[in-house]
Structure formats: structure tokens, C-alpha cells
Amino acid sequence: MAVTTDVIPRRPTLLLIVVLACLFVLMSRSSQTRYIGETRTLFERTVMTVFSPVPKAVNWVGQSASDMYHGYLDMRRSVRENLDLHNKVAQLTTENLKLRQSEGDLRRLRGLLGYAEQFTTGTTMAHAIMLDTSSRFKSIILDRGSAAGVEVNDAVVGANGLIGRVILTTHDMSKVQLVSDNNCSVGSLLERTRRQGVLRGDGAGGAQLLDIPVLADVQPGDAVLTAGIDGIYPKGIPIGVVTKAEKGSELFKTITVRPSIDFGSIEEVIVLHTRKIPPEVARYAP
């Protein structure tokens, strides 16, 4: 047991001596281990073999870092180009909407002007600047008044038919009573049968055709026009279409009319400067 204890502590010293001896022999013989035409010693070749992966690793790390940097720059450039394209698309979309709106306005104005050419009376084009269909009195405000020749009881029409009549004017504005107002009455006739009656608004966007006898021929789909017998509206302006015709409780039919005009979409209108009947003529009695 004593011999084993003395040998174990000596092993590290012996190993160190062996390693140093090997290194000494390797260095002393490095100049004698060249191959023919070989310029590197055995020691140099050993060192190069051991450390050759280091330059490769460094080169790989550098290349990867360069690729990441350039990739980051490319990504930033792509993001900037994408934002520019989005802005251009938004701009082009806005311009397209404006062109479509202009095209719609032009088409609507052409229809309105073409409709106005059917009348021999003087006309004035106006824009609706306020619409009031929620209160008891259904009306619109126009941006033309007495300065443009607009007078009370001038008829107001759109491209699809009758809108109403002027009831109040100022220098540069006027108020129009809509045919859907329950205080509005229009002398009317059925285009198919030429039967005359009185159209009155129901206050809810529609109208009723009154004073049509029970035996009169009235069918849903019949067109209703102005009769030109009320001293305000010229003859032949479309007012609406019959949607329901029923036998009333008395001598007259109950007839519901859908107006030709969508009062919620009024923009441009034409004011017809109708020929007014002087009061002295209307009231004269021989």
C-alpha cells in the first residue's frame, strides 16, 4: 500500500516532462521535416491545420453580417417604396372618385337642361342648399332669389318631374313648397284617360289624387301629369305614378300616388318663370 501511494503523485510530473520533450523534439526537427518543394515546416502545417477553421468562421460571420445589413437596407427601401405606392394609389383613387362625380354631375345637368328646353317660358337653374322634410312643412331652400328673377308661385322642376312651387323669395334665396307637403295642391290629370283631379301631398313623401269619381278608369301604373288649370303649374309636367286605386267610402276613389322626384336627392333644379294670372282677371265677374 505504501508503494502505490508513492507512485500516484509522481504521474503529473512525468506527463509534463513527456509533453515538453515532445515539443522540444518537434521544434528542433521542424527545419528537417520539409518535403521537396514544400516551403512550410511540419510545425507550420500543424498550426495551419489546427487553426484553418478560424478564418472560415470569421469570413462566414462577416459575410452573414454584411448580408443582414444589406437585407435591412433593402427592407427599409421596400417599406418606403410600399408607402409611396400606397399614397399614389390613394391619390389616384381620390382623383377617380372626383372624375366619376364630375361625370355624374355632367350627365345629370345635361338631362336637366334637356328637360328645360321643353318649356317656352323663362327658366333659371338653382341649387338646393337646404332640405327640410322632417318638420310639418316640407320645403327646400334654393340659392337663387328675386335678383335672378325668381318670383312667388314660380314652378320648380327636376329632370324627373315636378318638385313644387316658390312660396317666398329674398334677394338671393327662395323657399319652395314640395308637392309632398299636405298643404300643397296641384291640378292634375291621368295621362292615359285624361281624367282631371287634384293631387295633394300626404306629408310623408307621397301624395293622394282626389276628386276622381268611383266609376273612373284608374289603374296602378297610370302616369299623373300637371293639368295646367290651377294658374301656377304649366301643363304636362310629370308628377308621379299611381300605386293604388281603390273604391272609396263616398263618390270618389282613394288613389295613392308615388311622386316622380326623390326628395332626398334633390341637388340642381330649374325654376320655371310661369305666366301669372293677374288677380283682377281671376276675380273678374261680369
pLDDT at residue 135 in the model: 74
Residue 172 lies inside a defined structural domain of this protein: yes
User: Is 166 inside any structural domain?
Assistant: yes
The predicted structure's pLDDT at residue 1: 43
Residue 40 forms part of a structural domain: no
Residue 156 forms beta bridges with which residues?
164, 271
How many structural domains is the chain composed of? 1
Mean pLDDT (10-residue bins), the chain, 286 residues: 46 66 61 51 60 64 73 80 79 68 59 62 86 83 92 89 93 93 92 92 89 90 91 88 87 91 86 80 74
Q: What pLDDT does 48 receive?
A: 59
The whole-number pLDDT of residue 53 equals 66
Is residue 46 one of the residues assigned to a domain? no
Query: Which pLDDT score is estimated for 172?
Result: 93
The rounded distance, in Å, linking the Cα atoms of 203 and 209 is 14
- What pLDDT, on a 0 to 100 scale, did the predictor assign at position 175? 95
User: What is the distance between the alpha carbons of residues 22 and 37, in angstroms, rounded to a whole number?
Assistant: 26
In a domain, 41, yes or no: no
* Contacts made by residues 30-33, CB under 8 angstroms, sequence distance 24+: none
By the 10 Å C-beta count (0-12 exposed, 13-18 middle, 19+ buried), 223 is classed as: middle
The residue segments making up the domain with residue 143 are 122-276
Question: Which CATH number goes with the domain that contains 138?
Answer: 2.40.10.340
Q: Say how far residue 54 (Cα) sits from the centre of its chain.
A: 63
Q: What is the DSSP letter of 12?
A: H
Q: Is residue 268 part of a domain?
A: yes
Looking at the domain assignment, is residue 208 inside a domain? yes
Is 98 part of any domain? no
